[in-house]
Structure 1
Amino acid sequence: MDAEDQKTELSEKLDSLDIDELKDLRKTVDRAIASYETRKRQEAISAAEQAAREHGFKLVDLLGNGKAGRGRKTDAGSTGGAVKYVNPDNPEQTWSGRGRRPQWINEALDSGRTLEDLAA
């Protein structure tokens, strides 16, 4: 039986199903597609990990934080840019000068300090 005959036979079988059977079939096909994509993704990850090992690396080391491509950093402590200002009362609090001012900056300015006083 060639591919065209198989398509014709499948089409005839589908035409004989009622709506509930077709919906069940669609769910089954959707699950099969998701399973296929998951398997292929895992195969690709495994191949990439193997290639990294062959070159003496771990895949996570090559990808940095484990995500490829561009995007916003989500690492804890990420400031979104170079530190320009530091809280003299708590050096762990920093600000890049971008985005909304942190509360500690506003409090320092209200108490008479300037941004230059807080410069890193």
Structure 2
Amino acid sequence: MANIDLNSMDLSELKSLRKDVDAAIKTFEDRKKKAALAELEAKAAEMGFSLNDLTGSGGGRGRKVNPPKYRHPENDALTWSGRGRQPDWYKEQVSKGTAPEDLLIVKPR
């Protein structure tokens, strides 16, 4: 560690030093966390995984993905959760006379 002669510094230099030290203290834990995260990500990548694969966390803000509720009758890749804007395929099927209940993935008993 550098030997700093505080007695030889003027007031503005001391305040600047204090400001730098306060900033270093404030960000110390964040820097340590980032270094640990980088090390863990590198180790996971070395083993052929992402950190999200291993922890099961999807990142993001904890947003829940709603499972599909409706499926296109001819193309299983086209699904809709029943929330938000209706997809074009859904509107097209309903306009052709298909009942929305017929497009449900899990039919009520």
**TM-score, normalized by length of structure 2?**
0.54
CA RMSD of aligned residues (A): 4.2
- 1:71 pairs with 2:56: no
1:39-78 to 2 correspondence within 5 Å?
Answer: 39-45=31-37, 49=40, 59-60=51-52, 61-65=54-58, 67=59, 70-72=61-63
Which secondary structure state, in structure 2, belongs to the residue aligned with residue 92 of structure 1?
coil
CA distance, structure 2, for counterparts of residue 7 and residue 116 of structure 1 = 82
In the alignment, what sits opposite 1:110? 95
Where in structure 2 are the equivalents of 1:1-120 lying within 5 Å? 6=6, 9=9, 11-13=11-13, 39-45=31-37, 49=40, 59-60=51-52, 61-65=54-58, 67=59, 70-72=61-63, 80-120=65-105
Percentage identity across paired residues of the two chains: 37
TM-score, structure 1 as length reference: 0.50
**Structure 1's 13 and 89: CA in aligned 2 closer, same or farther, altered over 3 A?**
same
CA contact (8 A) 2:6 2:14 kept: no
**Unmatched 5+ residue regions in structure 1?**
16-28, 74-79
How many residue pairs are counted as aligned between the two chains?
88
Instruction: Summarize the Cα distance change of 1:9–1:104 in structure 2 as closer, same or farther, 3 Å threshold.
Output: same
Uncovered stretches (5+) of structure 2, i.e. residues with no partner? 45-49
By how many angstroms is 1:102 displaced?
0.6
